[in-house]
Structure 1
Amino acid sequence: MTITYQRNEISVRPFNMKLETLKNKTTAIWGFGIEGKATLAYLLARCPNMEIAVLCGADEVPDEHTKGVSFITVPVSVEVLNQFEVVVKSPGISPYQAPAKQAKCQLISSAALWFDNEKSGQVIAITGTKGKSTTAAMLTAVLEAMDFKVVLAGNFGLPLIQCTGSFDYVVLETSSYQAYDGSIKADIGVLLNLYSEHLNWHLTEQQYHHDKWRLLRQSKRVLLNAADENSTKMLQIEPLRKRPDYYGNQHGFYELNGVLMYQDKALVSAYGWQLKGQHNLHNAAAVCAIVLMLGLDIKMAINAIKQFQPLPHRLQLVAESNGVKFINDSISSTPHSTFAAMGTVDPSRTILLVGGFDRGVDWQWWVEAIEVHPPKMIICSGENSKKIHQLVLNQQIKTQCIKQPNLKQAVEYAKDQAKPGDTVLLSPGAPSFDAFDDYQQRGQKFSQWIQQ
């Protein structure tokens, strides 16, 4: 059976991912990062006599070769891909661009292998443009506090293909890259919000929203944010077969004036837990709604949520020196997350560091949104710094907006300009790939430069 989507003329062909079928196919792994390495280890363990090719860069080839594994380091082309019947593609490789779009081989994900061969317990898959890492980690902490055997996997946590044990729950933090092909078949699919993101991968905002939505279409039960307009629009455009559950309104869990509520009952105030920001109370509301869907003890959940600690690189206070606070929010990869971070500080005393890899997202709305309460200073660096800097200047916002060649120089300039009572906030609103391996390295470098 072939299901064809007109948006980018990509076909998603359901395929039997049972290992008995796969080991008789000529197979390659495309991409040799964390997930690619995990996939290779999995296939070698489960199919020890299987011959596997790895398509990667020459600098990624290990010194010691495993029997039956060959490494192909030439540039990946349609011809290279079509040597194989099945190619296990890393999530970062877009299927909407050459050579993947033209290839005739079957492109699959390691998630497809896991669901057809290893699925254990109930899978709760959480996606959204922002908040999914914190929500997934918070839910994991709640379930662990209830003495369930839980694993946090996916885009944040262990690669799913490594989760080969027996679990009560698998909490799967799911990116649009992982959801697009429909291979994730969750017991509960959760969509926190929909904005514009990853346009370099999905090509259009419509395709990005559609690919996120694929997760819900494949889930047994669905949880939506009633306060998210784009989710409501998608439900009208692509109705689901099952009726969704909701959070974010007064019929369930929601945030009101800095308080987590359930209907008319106050549960947690902004001062009653470890996290900052109204957006994190929205994340807590989603966690509580999932607990309710699972039929578990909500009082135990609230107690665990109150103890939950901020994750590294997420509004993390890394230093306080001479009356100046330095906050690392390197996980911020969208303008929406940067705007949410601004809600946790006094803008008039905040020096904001923004910019990074340009994924083609719209910053104009952000510039307009901060105009009423702008930060004391905006320092732009990274690949999209020129664009952000120009938008701020065009808007004639009453703030200083400075452009620096790189993040290190931006940090040094911020340190020089900060006065006692100020906050230096790294909340880039963009990925790190233009200058760093990932957001963790960017956050670590920020902390290192601050300590210096």
Structure 2
Amino acid sequence: MHLEQLKLENLCGLNIAIWGYGAEGRAMAAYCLKNLHNTQCTVLCSPDEVNSTGDDFKGIDFNTQPITATLLDGFDVVIKSPGISPYQAPASETQTPLVSTAAIWFANHKTAPVIAITGTKGKSTVSSLLTHVLKTMGYQVILAGNIGEPLINCLAPCDYVVLETSSYQAQDGFIQADIGVLLNLFPEHLNWHGDESTYYQDKLRLIENSDLKLINAGDARISELLDGEKQALHFFNDVASYHEIQGVLMYRDKPLLSEHGWKLLGRHNLINAAAVLSVVEALQLDVRAAVNAMRSFKPLPHRLQTVTELNGVRYIDDSIASTPVATLAALTVVPIQQTVLLLGGYDRGIDWSGFAQAMQNEAPKMIICSGQNGAMIAELLRTHEITADVQLCDDLQVAVQLARKNTKIGDYVLLSPGAPSYDAFENYQARGLAFAQWINQS
């Protein structure tokens, strides 16, 4: 379908399904009741999803039966939640058009400039940092996406919409951003996309459909994939623009901010800051005011967040780290030889060999593996004969207890799992909260 076909006047009177009843699905159900008249709307979800919310939408039907291609074929349009992969049955088998809530919003409600930010790692931080900077400078900004409001709820007038965009949300190509930002690309979400190549292609759809395309010049994979399109690209993390060098944020040869001059940890966050300033410059706003605003930005929870210091040991929660690359970045902000690293979680089929090779150069004092892929990671690290003491535990709680027993004053315990949390927790937030709780119980 095209965006024009998703105008409200074209949807009214149709038989529409809302597939999935998380935050976006609930927001879409409320939106349909208010805006789609003479339209039959049915929510497709599990009984647990309905019972957990207690919603009673008069005029919305709920179908909690197993979802099949035949069921989907009975609707004119299916508005699906981002977590549902179009590459897997029954989504891949239906003849009915599948669209997103973002598609409905862009077809009917885009009035302010949209800055859409994606990347395997860092998109939440960059989206939140950009929102903070613009608000501090006096602009009305809406933050939407996984860490903000569902986009379909963002109907109030504003100066800018900052859209944190996952690969799931970018896949259908309906997001038409004024500025699209691509931070980095590493293998991730392979169970949803099917393979590494498709994951990259789906990420790049955001850039393809953006008016101004802002790219991390320092990411070799992005450069390779977009090699033939460099004439149409704008860059950050490049010596001719905003970039990081030796722990200092620079504009060409002019220093702007050191890693000790704000509250975010890690040189990688200065690259994130370079992306934000590149957006500010593209919007023709005051870059100096933006740098000053960055100094008051506080780190997001579960992202290199110091939880506590107990008996002289600092405990850091980086539960958001769901790839080995993210864990390697986290290790740059701690004294690695004084650190106990907690690894492992849900197995998405990611290759850990690059991480193991990096550990051959320099490794923490101890690495404790747990979770669904813990045994695989531990075995891989042992075959690489790294200097770290590699241990395997049944679960994260036992791993925390073991870390407590093997630290002394001046040490660090870093939860940076390199894997999602879904094998044992609802989300990475729940994993981080459990980590904080178990520290005090160990």
TM tier relative to shorter chain: over 0.9
* CA apart distance, 1:71: 1.4
- Give 5+ residue unaligned stretches, structure 2: none
Alpha-carbon contact 2:13-2:37 (below 8 Å) kept: no
Query: Which of the residues 418, 426, 438 maps onto 2:407?
Result: 418
* CA apart distance, 1:249: 1.1
* CA apart distance, 1:310: 0.8
Query: Which of the residues 286, 305, 313 maps onto 2:275?
Result: 286
Aligned 1:4-15 pairs, distance under 5 A: none
Residues 35-83 of structure 1: per-residue CA shift (max 9 Å, x gap) = 1111111111222553211111111124453222121112211112111
Alpha-carbon contact 2:12-2:37 (below 8 Å) kept: no
For residues 101 and 428 of structure 1, do their structure 2 counterparts lie closer, same or farther at Cα, with a shift above 3 Å needed?
A: same
CA distance in 2 between counterparts of 1:195 and 1:81 reads 33
Aligned 1:28-427 pairs, distance under 5 A: 28-47=17-36, 49-62=38-51, 63=54, 65-236=56-227, 239=229, 243-427=232-416
CA distance in 2 between counterparts of 1:414 and 1:37 reads 41
* CA apart distance, 1:281: 0.5
For residues 144 and 225 of structure 1, do their structure 2 counterparts lie closer, same or farther at Cα, with a shift above 3 Å needed?
A: same
Q: Provide the residue aligned with 1:8 in structure 2.
A: none
CA distance in 1 between counterparts of 2:401 and 2:70 reads 48
* CA apart distance, 1:446: 1.1
* CA apart distance, 1:416: 2.1
* CA apart distance, 1:387: 1.6
Residues 224-265 of structure 1: per-residue CA shift (max 9 Å, x gap) = 01111111111136x37x711111111010000010000001
Residues 128-159 of structure 1: per-residue CA shift (max 9 Å, x gap) = 11111111111001100111000111122111
Q: Provide the residue aligned with 1:3 in structure 2.
A: none
* CA apart distance, 1:430: 1.1
Residues 365-394 of structure 1: per-residue CA shift (max 9 Å, x gap) = 011112211011111111111221111011
Q: Which amino acid aligns with 1:180?
A: Q
Query: Which of the residues 14, 18, 24 maps onto 1:25?
Result: 14
1:435 and 2:424 correspond: yes
* CA apart distance, 1:440: 1.1
SS class of match (1:16): helix
Alpha-carbon contact 2:116-2:164 (below 8 Å) kept: yes
Alpha-carbon contact 1:261-1:268 (below 8 Å) kept: yes
Q: Provide the residue aligned with 1:4 in structure 2.
A: none
Q: Which amino acid aligns with 1:235?
A: L
Residues 188-213 of structure 1: per-residue CA shift (max 9 Å, x gap) = 00001111111101111111111011
CA distance in 2 between counterparts of 1:402 and 1:152 reads 41
Alpha-carbon contact 1:49-1:68 (below 8 Å) kept: no
CA distance in 1 between counterparts of 2:316 and 2:111 reads 38
> Greater shift after overlay, 430-439 or 47-56?
47-56
Q: CA RMSD in A?
A: 1.4
SS class of match (2:438): helix
Q: Which amino acid aligns with 1:253?
A: Y
Provide TM-score, normalisation by structure 2.
0.97
Alpha-carbon contact 1:225-1:231 (below 8 Å) kept: yes
Query: Which of the residues 420, 426, 451 maps onto 2:440?
Result: 451
CA distance in 2 between counterparts of 1:334 and 1:166 reads 37
Residues 80-130 of structure 1: per-residue CA shift (max 9 Å, x gap) = 211111111111111111111111111000000111111131100000111
SS class of match (1:61): helix
Provide TM-score, normalisation by structure 1.
0.94
SS class of match (1:101): coil
Q: Which amino acid aligns with 1:449?
A: W
> Greater shift after overlay, 130-139 or 401-410?
401-410
Number of residue pairs aligned between Structure 1 and Structure 2 = 439
Alpha-carbon contact 1:120-1:165 (below 8 Å) kept: no
User: What percent identity do the matched residue pairs reach?
Assistant: 51
Residues 308-351 of structure 1: per-residue CA shift (max 9 Å, x gap) = 11111110001001000000111111111110000000111111
> Greater shift after overlay, 101-110 or 414-423?
414-423
* CA apart distance, 1:291: 0.6
Q: Which amino acid aligns with 2:65?
A: V
* CA apart distance, 1:15: 6.2
> Greater shift after overlay, 44-53 or 263-272?
44-53
CA distance in 1 between counterparts of 2:297 and 2:251 reads 19
CA distance in 2 between counterparts of 1:65 and 1:273 reads 46
Alpha-carbon contact 1:153-1:172 (below 8 Å) kept: yes
CA distance in 1 between counterparts of 2:330 and 2:152 reads 33
* CA apart distance, 1:438: 1.1
- Give 5+ residue unaligned stretches, structure 1: 1-11
CA distance in 1 between counterparts of 2:171 and 2:214 reads 18
Residues 264-304 of structure 1: per-residue CA shift (max 9 Å, x gap) = 01111111111110100100011011111110001100001
